[in-house]
Structure 1
């Protein structure tokens, strides 16, 4: 396979797919909260953290493997999470029963920060099998 095509498929296609998944979640009208509203709130906000931690990880990997140094790749990935989170909230303004909030952009950005923190601080100290897995995926 052509190396450029392989790079495109391995590094950049996952970002596009993940961005479309996030967009798709935002395109659906909000589901009415259950009786235990606070539990729904926690689950939904935790999902924001996780989806943007994954998004930051995908961006970090693609940027790093494209020749950008690790520090800048991490900072760019966090900024991209902030920017995409903001545009995602703007998109929600046009979705019935949804409304954009600064809180969600903040949570999305926090998810990106958590993802990069895990890559920079926790993965290097992880058990050997986990480090090998992260290295094979070109995360560290």
Structure 2
């Protein structure tokens, strides 16, 4: 078989991590904004689900996306449950650094509930892509 892709394998693996690294940068940038600058990022959820007032949907969505980007970075290795757990753990660790970063931003404070929401978002992303029909679609997009 003739190989048509002349890029080194290491470069392809590194490029797979680009979405996760970019998204981590987006999270860092958002954490650099004051609460007033952010306003309410996802007010529709608070309107639809008023009993979840204390749930920060912004953190949930940010870490749901980060987990998917990390899953893409790991590629087919991420299909194993232990890798899914590793991805949730890595997202949680990044959440810890995010909360530490917020300690230095005016009008922002570290919050354990944000870490909870980060972990829930990452865990639900990993559970969602373990559902067989979603997994098949995901692997077509992210082989």
- How much has 1:60 moved relative to structure 2? 2.1
CA contact (8 A) 1:56 1:77 kept: yes
1:23 alignment partner in structure 2: 28
Residue ranges of structure 1 left out of the alignment (5+ in a row): none
- How much has 1:114 moved relative to structure 2? 0.8
Partner-residue secondary structure (3-state), 2:110: coil
Does residue 66 of structure 2 align to residue 62 of structure 1? Answer: no
Residue ranges of structure 2 left out of the alignment (5+ in a row): 1-6
1:119 alignment partner in structure 2: 129
Equivalent residue for 1:131, pick from 117, 122, 136: 136
Q: CA RMSD in A?
A: 2.9
1:6 alignment partner in structure 2: 12
Partner-residue secondary structure (3-state), 1:120: coil
Q: Deviations over 1:36-81 (max 9, x none)?
A: 9x94995x8212111101111121232244x466212100010011
Question: Aligned pairs, how many?
Answer: 129
2:108 alignment partner in structure 1: 98
Supply the distance in 2 between the matched residues of 1:30 and 1:69 (Cα, whole angstroms): 37
CA contact (8 A) 1:29 1:95 kept: yes
CA contact (8 A) 2:92 2:118 kept: yes
Partner-residue secondary structure (3-state), 1:31: helix
- How much has 1:31 moved relative to structure 2? 1.1
TM-aligned CA distance change 1:106 to 1:72, over 3 Å: same
Supply the distance in 1 between the matched residues of 2:58 and 2:114 (Cα, whole angstroms): 11
- How much has 1:4 moved relative to structure 2? 1.9
